Amino acid sequence: MTMTAELTVAEAEWLDGWTAGPTEDQGSGLPSGAKAPDLALADHTGQERLLSEFWAGQPALLMFWRHFGCGCGVARAGRLKAEYQDARVRANRLADPYVWLDVYILDAQCNLGRRHGHPGTKLWADTMRQLASRTGMRELTVRSMIHGAALGNEGDAAAAVLLAADIENPVLDLILPARGAR
């Protein structure tokens, strides 16, 4: 066999393996909400780092590539780095219409869940509070605290009254009776 033929065969074998993807069992993965293991991996410079170093003070995005130096991955990582600050601001502060709608729907779910004793109501209220508070939706944060108080979260009623102090909405007067009519 000629060198060109051997090279062609080797390239075809590599491409077949790359196209097929991993052959190892993927396993069961981590349960939802579980902490990721604190693995030591090489970073983009080749230095060994613990995963916990990356998310010590902020969320982290991990990108796994089939091989180091993948051109598509390097280009995407560059775009992510350029977009990172804008993404953080948008994801953590601005209340876009979709997030607002999600929180509004969670409020309705919590109302129904409390009325009918649904077991998912606490999770809905917690998710509602997290989304509303991180995006500055104060009135909906107050509503999530009202749900929390009704579900037995100590201190939520008092915190809701304090947070609602300068929100002008007569509906809050109805659902926060301790605040009283203004």
- What is the tens place of the pLDDT at every residue in 152-174? 998 999 999 999 988 888 888 88
Cβ within 8 Å of residue 138, ≥6 positions away:
132, 163, 164, 167
**83 pLDDT exceeds 50?**
yes
Query: Mean pLDDT: which of 20-24, 52-56, 118-122 is highest?
Result: 118-122
What pLDDT score does 20 carry?
Answer: 76
Would the pTM count as exceeding 0.75? no
Residue 40 φ/ψ, nearest 5 degrees: -105, 120
Whole-Å CA distances, 151 to 79, 110, 112, 172: 44, 10, 13, 18
Task: Return the beta strands (E) in the chain as ranges.
Answer: 40-42, 48-50
